Amino acid sequence: MKYRIQKSLVLISSLLFLTVASAFAQKSIELKYNLNVGNKFNFVSNIDMDMTFDAAGTTMTMQSVMGIEMTSVVNKVDNNEIYQDFTFDKISMNQQVFGMEIKYDSDDTSTYSSGAGAKIGEEMNKIIGKSISLEMDNYGNIKDLDVSRVTNTDITSNFTSGSTFAVYPQHKVKVNDSWETDIKPLKDGEMKVHVKYTLLKISRKTAIIGIEGTITANKVENQEINLNGTSEGRMTVDRKTGMLINSSIDLDMTMDINQGDTKIPATISSTSTTNVAKVE
């Protein structure tokens, strides 16, 4: 008798789960950012990258693992406009190239006080404690990005790549609906990003969104470069605030690096993960 009751409970639970899942699949929801002044979030990102390039007939590979920790604070909400400041709290990097290992950790002065890490430390230390200002509407469209206090635009461009802040459609969507947008990572740059989002799954508190993107550029930071790439991944967002909870994005790119009259072809493959937590 006990076994039959347990079996019946399992069956009922399974049917209930399938019914609820089906209901969510048919439900149309509105995705947007609902943030208040004083909201604070902690971002932890890890980027694992392999870069291969051919120089003078020799194939070389660089492997790099980078960690970035940031804190964001919402300092103004004006109608549908949201203003946030992001501060770089910590950066770490482990890079292997030309048979050498270079380590940098902003919390460990021994990694950049001398040797190969000194040059990297000189640049990275300029970022620690510095902040950037971001203005966007409540659908995630970036209106302004002030990076004047940070010199490394390679790091700051992630904010407008469509993976840290999703760009939501201005209408309700249901599971399997897709929408697309064009994004320009930096106002004065020539890099272009096209992103296709697909709502994959919704629950009471979260939404899972698939990402497919293309990246093109002819010039980056005044350097001629023929860059083409694709990205793919997914992100989980909080339905209440619209904020990212976590994401995992794979990126594959090819490009030509110009060194004088010589073009050096290169390929880059990377996986980046980001976890976001609200600071109470």
For residue 237, the model assigns a pLDDT of 94
pLDDT along the chain (280 residues), means of 10: 48 48 63 95 90 77 88 93 92 82 87 76 83 90 79 53 79 94 66 88 93 79 74 93 93 77 81 91
pLDDT given for residue 241 in this prediction = 95
The maximal CA–CA distance of the chain, rounded, in angstroms, is 83
Domains of the chain: 2-278 (2.30.230)
User: What is the structure's pLDDT at 78?
Assistant: 92
Residues 242, 29 contacting (CB under 8 angstroms) = no
CB within 8 Å of 121: residues ≥ 6 apart: 104, 111, 112, 113
What pTM did the predictor assign? 0.83
Residue 128 vs residues 99, 122, 123, 268: alpha-carbon distances, Å:
28, 11, 10, 26
pLDDT of residue 5: 47
Residue type, 50: D
Q: DSSP 3-state assignment of 141?
A: coil
pLDDT value, residue 223: 64
pLDDT, position 206:
95
